[in-house]
Chain A
Amino acid sequence: MAFRKPVSAIRMDFLIEGFIKAIGLLANGDPETFSAISATMTVSAYSLLATLAMGLPLGFCLGYFEFRFKNQVRVAVDTLLALPTVFIGLLVYALFTSRGPLGHWGLLFTLPGIAVGLTILALPIVIALCATAVEGSDRGLRVALISLGASRRQLFLSTLWEARHGVVAAALMAYGRVMTEVGIAMMVGGNIKWRTRTITTAIALETNKGEFAMGIALGLVLLGIAFGVNFAVSFLRKRH
Chain B
Amino acid sequence: MGSPLYDIRGLAHRYRGRQALRIERLVLERGGIVGVMGPNGSGKSTFLRLMGFIERPTSGEIRFEGRPAGPFAPEVRGRVALLPQEPFLLKRSVLENVVYGLRIRRVNGPLEERAAQALSFVGLDARRFARRPSEALSGGEAQRVALAARLALQPEVLLLDEPTASVDALSAQLIQEAALKAQRDWGTTLVVASHDAQWLYEVSDTVLHLLKGRVFGTGRENVLFGPWQRAPGGDRWEKPLADGQRLVVPPPPEADAAAVIDELRLLGGDGPRAMPWPTGHTLSGVITRLALEKTSGNVRICVLVSGIPFTVVLSPRQVEEQGLFPGRRAVLGYDADAIRWF
Contacts and interface: CB of A to CB of B under 8 A. Distances in A.
A138 interface: yes
A147 B54 contact: yes
Nearest to B105: A149
Contacts of A12: none
Interface size class of B (residues with CB under 8 A): 20 to 34
Interface string B128-166: 000000000000000000100110010000010000000
Contacts of B89: 144
A141 B162 CA distance: 18
Nearest to A148: B101
A143 B82 contact: yes
B88 A148 contact: no
A224 to B, nearest CB: 32
A148 B153 contact: yes
- Counting chain B CB atoms within 10 Å of each CB, which of A140, A143, A149, A150 scores highest? A149
B100 interface: yes
A149 B88 CA distance: 15
Contacts of A143: 49, 54, 82, 84, 88
A147 B89 CA distance: 12
A147 B82 contact: yes
Contact of A140 (B52, B77, B86, B159): B86
Interface in B76-110: 77-84, 86-91, 100-101, 104-105
B77 A149 contact: yes
A31 to B, nearest CB: 47
A138 B142 CA distance: 15
B71 interface: yes
A97 interface: no
A144 B86 CA distance: 10
A234 interface: no
Contacts of B54: 142-143, 146-147
A150 B101 CA distance: 7
B225 interface: no
B49 A150 contact: no
B334 interface: no
Contacts of B153: 148-149
B71 A146 contact: yes
Given A138-B88, A149-B81, A158-B90, 18 more contacts: A140-B87, A141-B90, A142-B54, A143-B82, A143-B84, A143-B88, A144-B146, A146-B53, A146-B71, A146-B72, A147-B81, A147-B83, A147-B84, A148-B78, A148-B104, A149-B104, A149-B105, A151-B77
Interface of A: 138, 140-144, 146-152, 154, 158, 162
